Amino acid sequence: MSDTLLLEAHGVAKTFGRVRAVRNVSLRLCEGQSLAIVGESGSGKSTLLSMLAGQLKPDVGSIRYLSQEGWVHLEALEERHRRKLARTEWGFVRQHAQATLRPRVSAGGHVGERLMGQGARHYGQIRARAQEWMARVEMDPSRVDDLPSTFSGGMQQRLQLISNLITHPRLVLLDEPTTGLDVSVQARLLDLLRGLQADLGLAMILVTHDLGVARLLADQVMVMLSGEVVEQGLTDQVFDDPQHAYTQQLVASIL
């Protein structure tokens, strides 16, 4: 883990009509570090994540990211540049793999899409790379030509994950990546994520309402309540000795 700052948000806020979805949030993330954002539904986690991904512009505040070419301010990023970063240096894994996978595009097509977007034009090589990555997340490489609907939920989520990782992103944002999967599949996926995180030196921001997932994957945790950060710190510290009443409630509510 290095101490190089990768992403920094300062005083970020977003309002939808009368709803103040996110208020005055600041955070710092270094290369290879991972941060979990926890909180109940409607607490502004996903809005914050969209802003960190550059998909949504904050009303106030600034977000900067250290790209290969130097610092960029996300709120002033040109669309062309944003798309390039989004398909090279960033990854975005959503809760529902099915919503991101196209029904008529095979596993190989999904995994290879980023390569083709970057100009890869060798069918055999693209397919081989896709198979390599499938093997890496314990998928059967011989199923490279199969359609997403033939894969189980857990496999679809892996597919979504590796279609993001194939370009070796430096920052991966995950929105409830294990929600909706059964417990054993969840455990395997979390294991894989941890392995990949270590192997690839990924920085991760993870939105979850599952404190177990946060504890397993994240070095730091941020607790949000109605758009505000109520507590922030090292994961073990926050969970072992919660200061804010809401965090105490959250930790106490784990079965």
Please report, as ranges, the residues that interact with another protein according to CB under 8 A.
79-80, 83, 87, 104-106, 108-109, 112-114, 116-118, 121-127, 144-145
Least separation in angstroms between residue 158's CB and another protein is 19
Least separation in angstroms between residue 100's CB and another protein is 13
Least separation in angstroms between residue 84's CB and another protein is 9
Comparing CB distances to another protein, the nearer of 156 and 178 is 156
Comparing CB distances to another protein, the nearer of 42 and 117 is 117
Comparing CB distances to another protein, the nearer of 94 and 143 is 143
Least separation in angstroms between residue 92's CB and another protein is 16
Least separation in angstroms between residue 144's CB and another protein is 8
Most distant CA pair in the chain: distance in Å?
Answer: 57
Q: Is 216 helix (H, G, I), strand (E, B) or coil?
A: helix
Comparing CB distances to another protein, the nearer of 14 and 127 is 127
Task: Measure Cα distances from 62 to 8, 146, 175, 235 in Å.
Answer: 8, 43, 21, 25
Comparing CB distances to another protein, the nearer of 138 and 145 is 145
Comparing CB distances to another protein, the nearer of 25 and 144 is 144
Place of tokens 């990023």: 77
Measured from the Cβ of residue 45, the count of other Cβ atoms closer than 10 Å reads: 25
- Apex 198 CA angle, 111 and 64, nearest 5: 75
Q: Side by side, which strands form the sheet with 90-93?
A: 90-93, 171-175, 203-208, 34-38, 220-225, 228-234
- Apex 45 CA angle, 40 and 51, nearest 5: 170
Integer Cα distance of 27 and 158 in angstroms:
28
Least separation in angstroms between residue 151's CB and another protein is 15
Least separation in angstroms between residue 95's CB and another protein is 22
Comparing CB distances to another protein, the nearer of 76 and 105 is 105
Query: Can you list the positions of beta strands (E) in 3-130?
Result: 5-16, 19-30, 34-38, 60-67, 70-73, 90-93
